[in-house]
Structure 1
Amino acid sequence: MHPIVKLTTATLLAAPVLVGVAAARRALPAGLNVSGRVHTGQVRLLVDLTYRADGQSISDQQIFDAVEQLIDRAERFLVLDMFLFNADYSQPAGTYPALAQRLTDALLAKRADAPNVAIVLITDPMNTFYGSTPQPHFEALRTAGVQVMETNLEPLRDSHPLYSSFYRTYLRHLPELPGVLPNPLAPSAPKVSLGSYLRLLNFKANHRKVAINEYEAVVSSANPHDASAPNNNLGFWGTGPVLADLVASEAAVYRLSGGDPAVFERFASWLALDSETGEDAAAAGSAQVQLVTETGIRDAALKMLAGAGCGDRVLLGMFYLSERSIISALKGAAARGAQVQVILDQNIDAFGRRKTGLPGKPVAAELVKAEVEVRWYETHGEQFHPKYLAVFTPGQCQILAGSGNFTRRNVSGFNLETSLRVQVPESSPLAEEFAAMWQVIWTNDAGAPALFTVDYAVHPASTGLRGVLQNFAYRAQEASGVSTF
């Protein structure tokens, strides 16, 4: 081979390595990876449950009722940061409730009734399949004067460095071609471009689910996405000084996406941090509240678990559980004598598509072996989608909940995530409500025939060679970032 060809080839291969190393070492933009101050505020639990009773599917949904009330009560500004906000899915039209249109209509009604209220919607580029397809809900909102901003994901760290190093070096510079490929989210939707698929394969996202006005906020695990409408979710409604931290955190996402910093400076100046508003405040109780985002979520979870020991209760409800340090901490709490109970989704359903059971099945098997009590939420097409950890110690209850699954991508500084850590007395209404909810879904004792969860043994992980291969696949995907979780 000619020396010039050798040098050129070596340079072409070395460039992505150098780019990948630089991207892996980069810090997240300012204002992310937050572990905020602990504030006093009013907090109320929000729960979405779907379950079976008498052969029928029953849904009791609270989160978007609270979001709609928050929209209605806004007097100066609204900020919504929502991961999935669309009606796209692979099933026939009308299969799911029109949740995206419901939230769109609420925002349009607010714009019509109160045109002076500033409204900002921040969302993930997944909704337009990375720029390939217009999203009708967003176009209607923009026409009405709502600022809709798709998050710029480029400044975030690369969760899939083997691919992203080549993407950053070469693939992102390719010309944008016409859409000729099927949309994987909705096969009947318009065709999408190759460039959109190339952007998808970076596996990064703004995964937050937040709504804020000057008086209150809702932080949850629920998406305004039609196919997600039946999902089980959990969140918090709250007021108080934590609102300032939430606004600052959203300002960071707005800035990295090209927004004018002055917009959120105005929003911060309009906050009413000591207000109590409406029936929600009357039903809420005083709590210690801390904002945690990105790696702050993992740090909070590890701290909560490190303090759990003999006589304490650890309760975890999670869609995706795969982050190794948190799994080790759960097993450690059980080894110290804490009662550790875990409810997981089987990770087999995704909006009408069948999945592999990763990471749920091998992780559940590992926990059961460590004498952690595990039950599956018995879903029927929907997902058990919350992301919460609760630790009950004598006289005290801590609950961590929000958008962050306990996975490498979600809580190790790759995705954008928002959760709240709430601490209340064990005898408080919030703690008692959470404990009662857990008891119902753990024991299926709802006062009437109902099915929420089943024992791990009903849907055990594979054993033998198949189990070994499944566990290897989970570990490899978690470590490399080549996964959907």
Structure 2
Amino acid sequence: MAKHNRLHRTSRTIKIIILLLILWLIAVMIYQTHKPLPPFVSYESQEYSTNEVNFWTDLTYPSGDGSTAQHEGQILNRMFGIIDEAKQFIVIDLFLFNDYKHKGQRFPQVSAQMTERLIAKKKAHPDMPIFFITDEVNTNYNSSPNHLLENMKRAGIQVVQTDVDPLRDSTPSYSAVWRTFFQWFGQQGTGWIPNLMASDGPDVTARSYLKLLNVKANHRKLVASEQTALISTGNVHDASAYHSNVALEVKGPIIGDILQTEQAVLDFSGGGQLPAYRPQAEASAQPGKDNYRIQYLTEGKVYTSVLDAIGQTKQGDSIHMGMFYLADRRVLNSLLEASARGVNIQLLLDPNQNAFGQEKIGIPNRPVAKELSDKSGGKIQIRWYNTTHEQYHTKLIYIAKGQGDHIILGGSTNLTPRNLDDLNLENELRVAAPADSKLTRQIAAYFDTLWNNRGAEYSLDLEAYEDNSTFWKDILYRLQDMLGFTTF
């Protein structure tokens, strides 16, 4: 009898402990998905006027006979130009910055080139503040030092690895367990597990893989000086060197807002103090010029701006979108509603076939493309960028209005919940541009060239990636989207 009572009490104790643990994990999930964001995260600047917004592109596409790939790149050279022209300071924030690759792969050594450029600049101007902000993916989540970043540190460049823990959790069911049991042990140590991101990269500790599974990132792409700021869709990353990307460059007092959002990252990452922005002579638009209205957006404010821009379209307007990942449910519904209103919509999407030379299965874009085409009765037009072994990594929205300024949104932000919903760190430029402005003509020509294959086979029909497994891909995509266990 006494033994039975002891077993009963032990069983009851275990049940209470399990119940308390479940309640604790639920509480962690709720708090970590709703906690206040750090100051100046999810930021929307005031609207500024300017005479100049520059548009830069990188394009990779098959040659005429299809045997080789052609690459036309402008963005990296412009980044180098900003570094060379800087006189007071340089602030760079890049998600991917490393030379890791899979065995047998060869890529341009773009990360080493930028490292050498920055070190040379620091040597020539030792008193100039240079800040390089990046994500911990580049140290394999602290498993191993990144030799490029270490070289910068030795040269006196302030290298800041973003601490993403203060951000909200995008995979709460997993992150609650990680925060409760594993985060306390850190990630440093000698790696012993093969590097799945790049087989030629350093081995990774188990604790680093456990942190990676939180799938949180500083996903921004920015190069700024006291003179100008370039907001890009592309990383300076060897295995990404051939990706197709775009960038927008702006000058003027908006740089002060950009620095404020970067200072926010430094404040919760222990990264020091950025230099103050001192306004340059060119501060406002002049009559008779291309008067652009610009705003700088980060994180969830990008979401609001995208939904507002699509939601305000009317019959006769058109939406042109070049996108690496398209998956957010509210954005998809907004596109369907716009199509039903008579808005002409053209989506140029990456087929999600390649990831740094490795095969992918087309999620999320292929099931999303089928859904949008089916639900709109084919009114939403969709084409695939004709990738070779690279990605169409662009994130660009162009809304041509029947009346008023056209709207342009470009930057780091994929149209997915992780990128839009105050989870990753993201950055975006919104431009309201006159219909006959230089920028509007450039971007209209960009989409026209790729959509209509002017000069090369840049894009393919929607049917080019139809297959018999679409049903199962759709189920997998919806499960991933619902549970949050995605890389998109």
TM bin, normalised by shorter chain, reads over 0.9
CA distance in 1, matches of 2:259, 2:180: 34
Which of 304, 315, 327 does residue 299 from structure 1 map onto? 304
Task: Structure 2 unaligned segments of length 5 or more: list them.
Answer: 1-7
Match of residue 9 from structure 1: 18
- Give 1:166 deviation, angstroms: 0.4
Q: Is the 8 A contact 2:252 2:279 kept in 1?
A: no
Q: Are the equivalent residues in 1 in contact too, given 2:101–2:200 (CA < 8 A)?
A: no
Q: CA–CA distance in 1 between the matches of 2:45 and 2:161?
A: 25
* Aligned counterparts of 1:25 and 1:202: Cα–Cα separation in 2: 16
Q: Which residue pairs with 1:443 in the alignment?
A: 452
Q: Which residue number corresponds to residue 159 of structure 2? A: 148
Structure 1 residues 151-208: Cα deviation after superposition (integer angstroms, max 9, x where no partner): 0010010000110000111111246554211111222333211110011000100000
Which residue in 2 is equivalent to 1:20?
A: 29
- Unpaired runs of 5+ in structure 1? 277-283
2:480 pairs with 1:477: yes
> Secondary structure at the residue paired with 1:35?
coil
Per-residue Cα deviation, 1:340-369 (whole angstroms, up to 9, x for no partner): 000000111001111121001001101212
With over 3 angstroms needed to count, the CA separation of the structure-2 counterparts of 1:273 and 1:468, relative to structure 1, is farther
Distance in 2 between the 1:112 and 1:71 partners?
13
Q: What amino acid maps onto 1:337 in structure 2?
A: G
Task: List per-residue Cα deviations over 1:23-66 (Å, max 9, x = no partner).
Answer: 11112111011122110122111111111222331111111111
Are 1:43 and 2:48 an aligned pair? no
Distance in 2 separating the partners of 1:319 and 1:245: 27
Q: What percent identity do the matched residue pairs reach? A: 35
Residue of structure 1 in register with 2:397 after alignment: 389
CA contact (8 A) 2:228 2:251 kept: yes
1:40–1:241 Cα contact (<8 Å) kept: no
TM-fit CA distance, 1:218 = 0.3
Q: Report matched runs for 1:355-394 at 5 Å.
A: 355-369=360-374, 370=376, 371-394=379-402
- Name the SS of the counterpart of 2:45 in structure 1: strand
Q: Which residue of 2 aligns with 1:281?
A: none
SS in 2 for 1:356: coil
Partner residue, 1:280: none
What SS does the corresponding residue of 2:46 show, helix, strand or coil?
strand
**Could you tell me how far apart the structure 2 residues matched to 1:132 and 1:112 are?**
30
Q: Which amino acid aligns with 2:181?
A: Y
Length-normalised TM-score, structure 1: 0.93
C-alpha distance in 2 between matches for 1:178 and 1:382: 32
- Aligned pairs (5 A) from 1:5-404: 5-41=14-50, 42-54=52-64, 55=66, 56-92=68-104, 95-174=106-185, 178-260=190-272, 263-264=273-274, 267-272=275-280, 274=282, 285-369=290-374, 370=376, 371-394=379-402, 395-404=404-413
**2:54 aligned counterpart, secondary structure:** strand
Counterpart secondary structure, 1:268: coil
Change (3 A) 1:46 1:286: farther
* Matching residue of 2:464: 458
CA displacement 1:205-224 (0-9 Å, x = unmatched): 00000011111000011100
SS in 2 for 1:301: helix
**Runs (4+) off by over 6 Å:** none
The equivalent residue for 1:419 is 428
SS at match of 1:28: coil
* Cα pair 2:103 2:199 within 8 Å, conserved: no
Deviation at 1:244, TM superposition (A): 1.1
The answer to whether the 8 A contact 2:171-2:483 is kept is yes
Distance 2:478 2:253 in 1: 40
CA contact (8 A) 2:313 2:401 kept: yes
What secondary structure is seen at the aligned counterpart in 2 of 1:48? Answer: strand
Q: Secondary structure at the match of 2:47?
A: strand
Matched to 1:386, the amino acid is T
How far apart in 1 are the matches of 2:383 and 2:258?
Answer: 33
Cα deviation, residue 8, structure 1: 2.4
The alpha-carbon distance between structure 1 residues 104 and 271, as it changes in their structure 2 partners (threshold 3 A), is farther
Q: CA deviation at 1:115?
A: 1.3
Match of 2:4?
Answer: none
Q: Equivalents in 2 of 1:298, 1:368: separation in Å?
A: 23
**What's the CA shift for 1:480?**
2.0
Q: Is residue 309–residue 334 contact of structure 1 (8 Å, CA) maintained in 2?
A: no
CA distance in 2, matches of 1:285, 1:65: 25
- Count of aligned pairs: 467
Contact kept in structure 2, 1:294 and 1:414, CA below 8 Å? yes
Give yes or no for contact 1:66–1:237 (8 Å, CA) kept in 2: no
Q: Tell me how far 1:339 sits from its aligned partner.
A: 0.8
1:431 is the counterpart of 2:426: no
Q: Please state whether the residue corresponding to 1:404 is helix, strand or coil.
A: coil
* 2:5 aligned partner: none
Cα distance in 2, alignment partners of residues 286 and 131 from structure 1: 46
